[in-house]
Amino acid sequence: MRYVSTRGGAKPQSFTDILLEGLASDGGLYVPEEYPRISPDELENMRGMSYPELAFAILSRFADDIPPEDLRTLIDATYTKDTFGSDEIVPFKKLEENFYILGLSEGPTLAFKDIALQLLGRLFEYVLEKRGGTLNILGATSGDTGSAAEYAMRGRKGIRVFMLSPLGRMSDFQRKQMYTLQDENIFNIAVRGTFDDCQDIVKAINEDADFKERYKLGAVNSINWARIVAQTVYYVWGYLHATNTGNETVSFAVPTGNFGNILGGYIAVRMGVPIQHLILATNENNVLEEFFTTGKYRPRKGTEVATTSSPSMDISKASNFERYIFDLVERDATRMKELWGELKTKGAFDISGAPELTRLKRDVFLAGSSTHADRIATIRALHEKYNMLIDPHTADGVKVGQQLCEKDVPLVCLETAQPAKFSATIREAIGREPVIPESFAKLGGLPERFETFDANAELIQKYIAKKV
Ligand SMILES: *Cc1c(COP(=O)(O)O)cnc(C)c1O
């Protein structure tokens, strides 16, 4: 399989070629030249598979330049009871007939990003070992993504992580989760400033091409293709658990920020899995709801992004969205350049008068949004009715999913984080704090490892140079 850029100007590459890369050389994102198909018979054969077996069946079609036995070993080492808490890896929980929760947040940092990042850590290590290179991952986090990246890369050979976080601005839980890691390849950098300052520093360092090259800087951002396709696996898993035969359809409700999670579902659709609807849920930051209901795409400026009680969905520009639009314009690179040109000059584009709108309306997506009051009400309702405690992001998905789902089509709501990570919102909803998992209660006793710096890119460059 070869991967091409959404802007049509980069040469096709293999899976392992694009694994460590971010953007393609023409500024676009890589997508497969063609989506592999799963036939109805193949889908039936997947019904009895364990999660690692299913992951191999799906991922081997995309990572076809890794020898199958190696890929199998990497997958088997990733999806274990030890790391994900049960042999199911992704538990499928029934609330009632046709209403299910897919448990994606059983990994080390209690959020769905672990599912892809845990595999990515092993894939990076494997490819670096083969090619004899090293990689220094530089990132900025407001809390959650950074810890998932650190837990994925801890102890991996040839990889170091330099993660910037805003000093004193994370929750106790987030801070402890990151700073208590004792691995020598993890460097926590606390910046006297905001998350935006951290991001600006990462950007400034990345713009120093000599430094970047010399110190082999890379990233684990949400546009990484391997992350997306690792997420396709659990849509197939969810489909198979919600049905008895391949003649049935299922809808998924997906709390959405960067459009990475739901893109995994879209790929399952393109592979032939009978999905009725992918129900996209936003919070108050509803840029994508607006696009999918009107055809107008108007990303907000950073300062216009609301801070909400589902913070991992507070996103101004969904970084993976371009991959979907590429298909929507039938992979017409000229049209892509036109739309992205408009985006650059006018800050928006509008397909409401174009034939693409008809295709958009016929496609698999439905979209809606949710407010803080909706989240609280949804958390409370599921707790009262089913004795099930969900986190605020999952609540966004459940709220919009219940609003837009069709009767008689099973609704599978993706659980993207554990409630323990968001205790203030949980207290507001049910009057008490969530139970903190035992593994996290223990973190309280561990020493915290971090270095503090002023918000100054040069100081941090010096620090990296000293540690590499
Ligand atoms: C990252 C995240 C999301 C959003 O996922 P995208 O792939 O960015 O759309 C939703 N919920 C939680 C808890 C997250 O951490």
pLDDT in tens, 115-159: 999 999 999 999 999 999 999 999 998 878 899 999 999 999 999
Does residue 93 have an active-site annotation?
no
CB atoms within 10 A of CB 373: 8
Q: Distance, CA 55 to ligand 1 centroid (Å)?
A: 21
Q: Distance, CA 11 to ligand 1 centroid (Å)?
A: 31
Render pLDDT for 195-236 as a digit per residue (tens, 0 to 9). 888 988 998 998 898 999 999 999 888 899 999 999 999 999
Q: Which pTM value belongs to this model?
A: 0.96
Residues 6+ apart with CB under 8 A from 47: 240
Supply the pLDDT for residue 25. Answer: 86
Q: Distance, CA 172 to ligand 1 centroid (Å)?
A: 20
Q: What are phi and psi of 181, to 5 degrees?
A: -65, 130
Query: Which residue ranges form the domains of the chain, and what is each CATH number?
Result: 92-109+225-430 (3.40.50.1100)
Render pLDDT for 413-438 as a digit per residue (tens, 0 to 9). 999 999 998 999 999 999 999 998 88
| Residue 348 confidence (pLDDT) above 80 | yes
Q: Which residues pair with 136 in a beta bridge?
A: 160, 217
> Which of 113, 323, 399 to mutate for ligand 1's pocket (most ligand atoms within 8 Å of CB)?
113
Q: What is the DSSP letter of 302?
A: G
Given the residues 113, 176, 399, 421, the one annotated as active site: 113
Percent of the chain surpassing pLDDT 70 = 100
Q: What is the DSSP letter of 300?
A: P
> Which of 222, 393, 414 to mutate for ligand 1's pocket (most ligand atoms within 8 Å of CB)?
393
The CA-CA-CA angle for residues 51, 57, 61, to 5°, reads: 140
Q: Which residues pair with 40 in a beta bridge?
A: none
Q: Average of pLDDT values for 352-379?
A: 97
Q: Distance, CA 436 to ligand 1 centroid (Å)?
A: 21
Percent of the chain surpassing pLDDT 90 = 85
> Which of 224, 227, 258 to mutate for ligand 1's pocket (most ligand atoms within 8 Å of CB)?
258
Q: Average of pLDDT values for 448-453?
A: 96
Write out residues with Cβ below 6 Å of ligand 1.
Answer: 111, 113, 144, 222, 255-261, 312-313, 393, 416-417
